[in-house]
Each structure stands twice: as structure tokens, then as C-alpha cells.
Structure 1
Amino acid sequence: MLVFVVFQVFLLLIVVLPPHTTLSHLVTTTSAGHAIPFPPFEQLNIKKSIAATKLRPRPRPSPTGDFNSVEDTDHGSAQEAISRNSSVKLNLVHRDKISFSWHKDHRRRFASRMKRDATRVASLIHRLSSDAAAAEYEVAGFGSEVVSGMKEGSGEYFVRIGVGSPARSQYMVIDTGSDIVWVQCQPCRQCYHQSDPVFDPAYSASFSGVSCSSTVCDRVENSGCHSGWCKYEVSYGDGSYTKGNLALETLTIGHTMVQNVAIGCGHMNRGMFVGASGLLGLGGGSMSIVDQLGGQTGGAFSYCLVSRGTESSGSLEFGRSVLPVGAAWVPLLRNPRAPSFYYIGLLGLGVGGERVPLPDNTFQITEFGDGGVVMDTGTAVTRLPTAAYVAFRDTFIAETGNLPRARGVSIFDTCYDLGGFITVRVPTVSFFLSGGPILTLPARNFLVPVDESGTFCFAFAPSSSRLSIIGNIQQEGIQISFDGANGFVGFGPNVC
């Protein structure tokens, strides 16, 4: 029977082994098949979740940047700037927050988001397929406010950084599954609409083309040469692409200037980037901003994706000093076939305090590079191999008791009609991570509203391959940190 209670704040619960270690009132066990002695249910506030779907339009930020200021006052070297600033923090926001004219109807926003999501997942799976293993995508202490790209028509989360000298503020999609950093550039022979003026390298004192003989050019797998200058071309699995010249340029991240960053200056661009000026690749490859800052930041960065419908901003930070004390750390796994991706070890799934029975190898990377579990900011909904998803979903349905069901919506086949409720009791959902930590999600990270009338859906979907993807809905509100130098991924302890 459903229990009605007043709203309570949902806590991110991370339980870390060794056995019998406690966090608050939670305790883990050592045996994989045993019951987990933490509360099997928690409360989901229906009215607050529905209210969060209603947009409160805000004026679009000015080109000088309302979400984080970009100042061209420090002309020291990147190393000098880093030594003075052990870390730099940028605001990170969901695309719904910055759009002024995008759809106010939640169902239309949701449908558009799911369409983008399906394309994104197909792209990731294609990049790991046997016939695309060697081509297509591989060509591919600072911080900033992160803004979701949803309302901009592209990407999911945005940051605002400065490009060039003097710095020109630009919205950039952040992507943990991409490497190269690029912006649309004048002269634009084929460009999509973006919110900010298109970057013109002719007005930047720090812009420098990369010659074909440069080692930087060699790092771009699909590079070319024209009149002695390095050309790049990056194609994405969804048909999007960017083509242009490779250059070295100064980026201003927060208040920190970083010189000689290799970026793509795109003169021909097409795809799902509408609204953004380009892309800030956070992947594990050599062209990503993380790798280019590696010697100065130790390959360390941290982000917190702001929860949907809130007025707060998330964050993106670079530098070893931003790695939190008290996080639950798990090994960072690498797949030679997909060096851009950040893999983690997932041992199993939990529902309502019970481990879902699944084969031990369900989430392992095979010797052929298939399977595994990828953390991805560009995917919204977590995907699981079909057999694992079905077992997970069926266990959740069995534990929800008498909650009234609703028709499936888009990629979601498990939905509930909760419009008549104030709060409902729902079973907890957990990820069993390698090394011992158990990540228990807040209810809003696995039951999400898909309209304004109270339809909520179980925010997971089956994958058409063995690849699993932890999407940004499940990551929202959780501080996630990457320690590339030592090979770990951290969860918590902070929330946003």
C-alpha cells in the first residue's frame, strides 16, 4: 500500500566496502547474492518533479558571458596562470536553462531529447562495431559553468569559454566521448546557426595555423594537407561532421588563459550542434582538452551535472586539487578500440535492496573490445544489454506494487500514471561497482516525468549491443571525478 509523506530531500547514497563499513544508516555485505541491508524504498515527490518540467524562460546571456565572465586581463603563459590558480571552475548548465525561445511544452522537449539520444547511442555503438573500428571517430586546475545544450538544439550540457585574443565568449558542448576541440570559424562556407557570433581568427592575435610537418598534425588520424597547412575532418556516427584547419589558439577558461591549445577551426560544419559554437572534447584521446592539459592538471577533472528544473548551475573543473576527499573511487578501465571512452567496472544492479540475478560477465569488456560500461555526458538515458535490462525492469515492476501503469512513451516501456499523487514510495535502484562501492540513485534519477500531467517513466532502455552506457540523467546531481594519471573514477561525496 502506498504511503503518503511530506517531501524529503533525496540524498545520494554511496556505500563503500570494506564489509560492514557504514555511511549514515547504510551497510554493505560481502556476498554478491545476499540482500543489501539498506532501506528498500524511498519517496518520490510527484508535484515537485512535475513543476520542474515547466520552463521559466530567461533572457539569453550576452556575448560577453553572463554564465561566467571571460576576461582578457592576464597575458602570462599558461603555466604561470596554472601556478597561480590551482584549479579553475566553470559553471555548467543544462540546455533547458539558457534557451529563451525553445519549446515550452515538456512533451515536445522530451520527444526531441529522446530523438537526439537515440542518434547518440547509435553513433557510439557504430564507433565500436567491427566495420568502424579503425576509422570515423578516432579522428576525432580549470573550470567553467556548464550549461545544458538541450534548449540550444544541440548537445546536452554547455560551458562558456573564451576563444582567441582578445577572448570571444562562446558556448561549447561538453562531451566525454569526444576528443578534438573545435569551433565554427569565418569564413564559414557551410555553418549551422549558433547563439554567438561565429569566431573570426583574423581578429585574434594568438591564432596560429598548424603546418603539415607539425607533430600536432600527426596526432589527428584523418588529417590532410593543403598549401602546407594541416587540415582536419571529424565525422560522427550520426552524420554530423566538422571540417577545417587545425590551429593553435588561446582559450580562456574561467579567468585562466591557456595558450597553444590545438583546436579545429571549422569552415564546414553540419549536424546536431545547433546553437553551440563548437565542442569541448573531454575524452581520453590525445587531442582532448584533458590530454592537452595533462602535464599541468595530471589528467584530472571533475563535473557535476545540475539536476533538471533547478535554478542552480553545475560545474566543470580541471586540476588535481579539485579531486574530492571522501569520494567512492573505482578503477578507470580502458578499451584500446575506443580510447576516447571512459569505462568503469559494473558488477551488477540492485532493486529494492536485492541484487538482480545476472550472469557475471554481463558488463565486461570482451577480448574483441565489445561490451563494457561507458560514462557519457552526451547520452541522456542509461542503456543496458537487452537481457540485463529486461531482468532489471521486471524486478523494478514487481517491487512497485500497486502503482498505476501508463502506456510506454518513446524509448521507455515502463511508465506510471502518478498525476493523482503527492508523493509515492518507490524501490531503490543501485549500481554495484567494481572494488566494492554501491551507488544508490536518488529517485528523480530513475523515475522521470515525460509530460506535465504526471506520467513518469523508468529512465533506462535496452541496448542493441553488449555496450552499456551510463547516461546523464543517472549522473545528475552527483559529483563525478576522473583521475586519469592514476586510473580512477570517483563518485561523490558532493551533490549539486
Structure 2
Amino acid sequence: MVFVLFLLSLLFLTTSTSIPTSSHSHNHSYPHFQRINVKQTIAETKLNLKPFHTTKQPQENKKSNAESMSEKSDAVSGKHKLKLLHRDKISAFNISGDHLSRFNARMERDSKRVTAVVRQIAGGVGYETEEFGSGVVSGMEQGSGEYFVRIGVGSPPKNQYVVVDSGSDIIWVQCQPCTQCYHQSDPVFNPEDSSSYAGVSCGSTVCSRVENAGCHEGRCRYEVSYGDGSYTKGTLALETITLGGTVIRNVAIGCGHRNQGMFVGAAGLLGLGSGPMSFVGQLGGQTGGTFSYCLVSRGTESSGSLEFGRESVPVGASWVSLIHNPRAPSFYYIGLSGLGVGGLRVPISEDIFRLNELGEGGVVMDTGTAVTRLPAAAYNAFRDAFVAQTTNLPKTSGVSIFDTCYDLNGFVTVRVPTISFYFLGGPILTLPARNFLIPVDSVGTFCFAFAPSSSGLSIIGNIQQEGIEISVDGANGYIGFGPNIC
């Protein structure tokens, strides 16, 4: 029995109503420490320098009978499943150089992402709550392009890699004719090759409600600007989207003829925010407003997954209530009450994580942000508690946005304290060790993968979410953490 409890809590999740609040309390059922295989992790960082090639893309429509039967079953059940890849697995996105160079580039993108998220929420740019068919495309969103899925656009479908972003409410792809387009791994989508493409007229209800809408040759024009200076401009259209064997018609997308930004390699963006114009919102009744995802863990050859539909909800998941912020309705806010290190709750006031009446502060789950950001006061106490329990590890100078790093060169394994998120209502998310002490180069430098924020907003990033089965039930207002590693 003890061994089973050890395994479950070593992975990540347990629920409890008895949370230790002082250094003298030890009556909880999960282990205080975990082990990281340093030697294996360093080997994986070196392996990751070898790019994943996409030479088999022309053959990807050839499926086995088993795959075809599975897709037909999913289509009948309303279940839609996609493979999820980190951008570093796609050769076209790779940055030349070593692991540290790619890490620094990722942190630079991440800093821009966080700045954009904070700016959007502070500026109060939001979405009107209109139904699909008369929705609104905001003029201000943000994206970093860390995770990608492959979808079919048009009829016949043209396969495209698109960025997955839980903080955006728009779907768009680069389109011909391309006045200004960045490099992408697939041929740029040509609307003239699609029998299902239908531009939205300037006089339509949809166009009249689009922020920054314009008109060109009778067609509605859209424009979306991102916080880092990226943008997409083009024609608003209705188009067919294909997910595996499932065909979804009349999806409102942006067909971008002028595009610039951090999305290099991907064809566009698949918005998974909670607004009605996101992909989740437009699927509506087909999926019950639910989707789940598992982000790719470093060092694995397998892909992650993105799944839509009620059948995607894992049995045994522990659920945390979503919190609605009218100031930023596209984001998924959750109630965080505290942080734990080594089984002990860090003395941080719950008020630091609370969303106030003005829509300030709070905690956002975000697939587009890599590193979890915490308000400075919370981060400092959290970091100090971790440092106090890792005095056995040799410290080294900080790297990039990280101020707490260790030189683990020559170690085979090391013991580190557990890291936990305490949520309102009782659930505790205990992270796998590889989700909070990460390699930043290929020679043994590992850093505590959290960073302080100058704002009151907390963001739980994708590094901390890796390998954890996460489900969003927007219709009922919950987010769930599954009981198994995925």
C-alpha cells in the first residue's frame, strides 16, 4: 500500500483536505523527495539536438485499416484527437547550435509572451460573448509557438502545422497570394484550390462585429496584432477543417495575406481560448466544450496529444474550478491557494494568488508560456524554501531568466524535494521532478524552472504541465488533472 501511494504521488497528484502549514507538520501521504537521473537527462538533451524530419508528410494520408477504423469510431463518438509536437521536434523550426542556444531563444520568446499576456489583461482587451456566426475577433492577442498540431485546411484538405494556444480566440493560416509571409514548413494555403472556401462579405453580421474590420473588393478584412509586434492581416472566411478522419465545415478562420512574428515554421494558429470564436467555442455542441491535452516531455520520441470531446475526460481526474475574469475571458483562470516544497507548505498568503474585483492578479493556465511566473514575493519565498532543501547540491551562476541553478556535471542521480501546487478546494498537484529542475545546457547545468513576475499575475507554464493529462471542461467550469502520466 505504501509503495502504491509512493508511485501515485511521485507522478504528480493527490487530493487532500489536510494540508501541512508549518515545518512541524509531516502527516501527509506523499514522499518529500524525488530523484532525477542526471546522466540520462543530459544524454536526452544531446539527443534532442538531432532534428525530427518531416520527409514522410506526402504519405501521411495513407493510413492502415486499423487507423481508418479508429478515426471512423472517433467521428461517430464526437471525439477528435490530434498529435501534439514541440516546435524543437520539427526540423524547420530548429535553431542551429547547442542546447543552450535553443534554450536562450526559447526564453526570449517566453519573455515576450509573458509581457504580451500581462499587457493584454492590464489593457482589458476582451471578446464580446456572441454565438458562433456573429462573433468577434479581437485586435490584441499573443502567441509564442511552442506546441504544434497538424490539421487539414480546405477541400481537399491541405495539411498544415499550426500553433496551439490556450490564450487566443482565433484560427488563422497564411494564405496565397502572399504579400508578406514568413517561412513555414508546408506550402502556403491557396484558397483557390479549395472548393469549400467562402469569403465573408463586408455587409455580413460577422464582418460588422470584427474589431479593426475593413473591406476590400467586397470581402471582409481582419487584422490581429500580437503583444510582441507580430501580426496577421487578411480575409475573414468560412472553411472546412479536417482532424484525422473528422470533417468540420463552416469554421470561421482568418486567411492571412500579410503576416509577421514568432510563428516561424507553423502555418498559423489554432486558438483554444474560452471565447466563442476559438476552435473549442466553434465546435460547441459537438464536443460539449471539453478538450484535453498532454504536452510532450523532453527526451521522448513520442508525440503528445490534443483531444476534443467528452470522452477525452480521464476517469479519476481531480477537478479544480475555473474562475471567470470578465477582463480577460479567453484565459483559463484557476484558484491557487499555496505552494509546497518537500511536503511543507511555504508561508505565502493566499491573497497573493487571488483574482481581485478589478480583474487583477489571479492564476492562469497557459500552454503558450513555458516557465511558470509568480509574483516576486511568492517566488522569493518559494525559491528560498527550495534552496534551503538543496544545500547538498553545488550551486552555480544563474542562466537567462533563472537565478537558481546547479552544476550537476558528474552526478548520476540527485535527490530533490517535491514541488506542489495547492489548489482551492483541496487538490494538490505534485510535479514530476523533471518539470521543475531542468537542464539548460548539455554539460550538466540544471535550473529551478520558475521565475518572478513584476505584475500580480501568476502563470502556470507548459514546462510545469509536461507529461500531465490535463482536461478542460469549459461548459461546466472545471479543469482536471488526470491520475496517469500520458
TM-score (norm 2): 0.89
Of 81, 99, 117 in structure 2, the residue corresponding to residue 106 of structure 1 is 99
Q: Does 1:158 align with 2:157?
A: no
* Alpha-carbon displacement from aligned partner over 1:27-62 (angstroms, at most 9, x marks no partner): xx1565554622211111101111111123332244
Q: Does 1:45 align with 2:44?
A: no
Q: Check the 8 A contact 1:63/1:196 in 2, yes or no.
A: no
* Alpha-carbon displacement from aligned partner over 1:169-223 (angstroms, at most 9, x marks no partner): 0000100011100000000101101110000000100000112333333453332
Structure 1 residue 103, shift from structure 2 partner: 2.5
1:313-328 → structure 2 map (5 Å cutoff): 313-328=303-318
Q: Does 1:382 align with 2:376?
A: no
Structure 1 residue matching 2:421: 3-state secondary structure:
strand
Structure 2 residue aligned with 1:120: 113
Q: Check the 8 A contact 1:64/1:70 in 2, yes or no.
A: no
Of 399, 403, 410 in structure 2, the residue corresponding to residue 420 of structure 1 is 410
1:414-493 → structure 2 map (5 Å cutoff): 414-493=404-483
Structure 1 residue 12, shift from structure 2 partner: 1.9
Count of residues paired in the alignment: 460
Q: Does 1:64 align with 2:63?
A: no
2:257 partner amino acid: H
Structure 1 residue 97, shift from structure 2 partner: 1.6
Structure 2 residue aligned with 1:261: 251
* Shift in CA distance, 65/51, structure 1 to aligned 2, threshold 3 Å: farther
1:40 partner amino acid: H
Structure 2 residue aligned with 1:210: 200
Of 65, 76, 87 in structure 2, the residue corresponding to residue 95 of structure 1 is 87
Structure 1 residue matching 2:58: 3-state secondary structure:
coil
Q: Check the 8 A contact 1:176/1:378 in 2, yes or no.
A: yes
* Alpha-carbon displacement from aligned partner over 1:117-169 (angstroms, at most 9, x marks no partner): 001000101101247679998335xxxxxxxxxxxx96111101100000000
Separation of aligned partners in 2, 1:433 and 1:65: 45
Q: Check the 8 A contact 1:82/1:296 in 2, yes or no.
A: no
Separation of aligned partners in 2, 1:269 and 1:99: 21
Structure 2 residue aligned with 1:139: 139
* Shift in CA distance, 417/31, structure 1 to aligned 2, threshold 3 Å: closer
Q: Check the 8 A contact 1:32/1:355 in 2, yes or no.
A: yes
Separation of aligned partners in 1, 2:165 and 2:59: 21
* Alpha-carbon displacement from aligned partner over 1:220-251 (angstroms, at most 9, x marks no partner): 33323334321111111110010111000001
Structure 1 residue aligned with 2:158: 168
1:96 partner amino acid: D
Between stretches 85-94 and 283-292, larger displacement belongs to: 85-94
Q: Check the 8 A contact 2:13/2:429 in 1, yes or no.
A: yes
- Give the gaps of 5 or more residues in structure 2: 1-6, 129-135
Tell me which protein shows more helix as a share of its residues: 2
2:402 partner amino acid: F
* Shift in CA distance, 197/154, structure 1 to aligned 2, threshold 3 Å: farther
Q: Check the 8 A contact 1:219/1:287 in 2, yes or no.
A: no
Structure 1 residue matching 2:167: 3-state secondary structure:
coil
* Shift in CA distance, 200/10, structure 1 to aligned 2, threshold 3 Å: farther
* Alpha-carbon displacement from aligned partner over 1:90-138 (angstroms, at most 9, x marks no partner): 1111112222664351011101000000010001011012476799983
Structure 2 residue aligned with 1:182: 172
Structure 2 residue aligned with 1:199: 189
Q: Check the 8 A contact 1:177/1:341 in 2, yes or no.
A: yes
Structure 1 residue aligned with 2:14: 15
Structure 1 residue 341, shift from structure 2 partner: 0.4
* Alpha-carbon displacement from aligned partner over 1:343-374 (angstroms, at most 9, x marks no partner): 11100000011000111211111111111111
Q: Check the 8 A contact 1:70/1:161 in 2, yes or no.
A: no
* Shift in CA distance, 68/109, structure 1 to aligned 2, threshold 3 Å: farther
Q: Check the 8 A contact 1:409/1:415 in 2, yes or no.
A: yes
Of 372, 375, 385 in structure 1, the residue corresponding to residue 362 of structure 2 is 372
Separation of aligned partners in 2, 1:67 and 1:420: 46
1:205-284 → structure 2 map (5 Å cutoff): 205-284=195-274
Structure 2 residue aligned with 1:391: 381
Separation of aligned partners in 2, 1:369 and 1:224: 31
Q: Check the 8 A contact 1:389/1:461 in 2, yes or no.
A: yes
Separation of aligned partners in 2, 1:9 and 1:448: 22
* Shift in CA distance, 87/65, structure 1 to aligned 2, threshold 3 Å: farther
1:299-378 → structure 2 map (5 Å cutoff): 299-378=289-368
Structure 2 residue matching 1:424: 3-state secondary structure:
strand
Separation of aligned partners in 1, 2:231 and 2:269: 11
Between stretches 353-362 and 29-38, larger displacement belongs to: 29-38
Separation of aligned partners in 2, 1:229 and 1:324: 43
1:462 partner amino acid: P
Structure 1 residue matching 2:353: 3-state secondary structure:
coil
2:12 partner amino acid: L
Separation of aligned partners in 1, 2:408 and 2:245: 46
Separation of aligned partners in 2, 1:255 and 1:244: 29
Separation of aligned partners in 1, 2:61 and 2:39: 29
* Shift in CA distance, 62/184, structure 1 to aligned 2, threshold 3 Å: farther
Separation of aligned partners in 2, 1:10 and 1:68: 41
Separation of aligned partners in 1, 2:62 and 2:322: 31
TM-score (norm 1): 0.88
Separation of aligned partners in 2, 1:68 and 1:331: 42
Structure 1 residue 438, shift from structure 2 partner: 0.3
- Give the gaps of 5 or more residues in structure 1: 1-7, 20-28, 75-79, 141-152
The RMSD of aligned alpha carbons is 2.6
Separation of aligned partners in 2, 1:291 and 1:258: 13
Structure 1 residue matching 2:337: 3-state secondary structure:
strand
Q: Check the 8 A contact 2:125/2:138 in 1, yes or no.
A: no
Quick one: percent identity of the two aligned structures? 65
* Shift in CA distance, 108/387, structure 1 to aligned 2, threshold 3 Å: same
Q: Check the 8 A contact 1:70/1:254 in 2, yes or no.
A: no
Separation of aligned partners in 1, 2:298 and 2:200: 41
* Shift in CA distance, 450/42, structure 1 to aligned 2, threshold 3 Å: same
Separation of aligned partners in 2, 1:403 and 1:280: 42
Structure 1 residue 301, shift from structure 2 partner: 0.3
Q: Check the 8 A contact 1:85/1:256 in 2, yes or no.
A: no
Structure 2 residue matching 1:169: 3-state secondary structure:
strand
Structure 1 residue 377, shift from structure 2 partner: 0.7
Structure 1 residue matching 2:138: 3-state secondary structure:
helix
Structure 2 residue matching 1:292: 3-state secondary structure:
helix
Q: Check the 8 A contact 2:10/2:430 in 1, yes or no.
A: no
* Alpha-carbon displacement from aligned partner over 1:354-409 (angstroms, at most 9, x marks no partner): 00011121111111111111111111000000000000000000011221001000
Structure 1 residue 493, shift from structure 2 partner: 1.8
Separation of aligned partners in 2, 1:112 and 1:70: 39
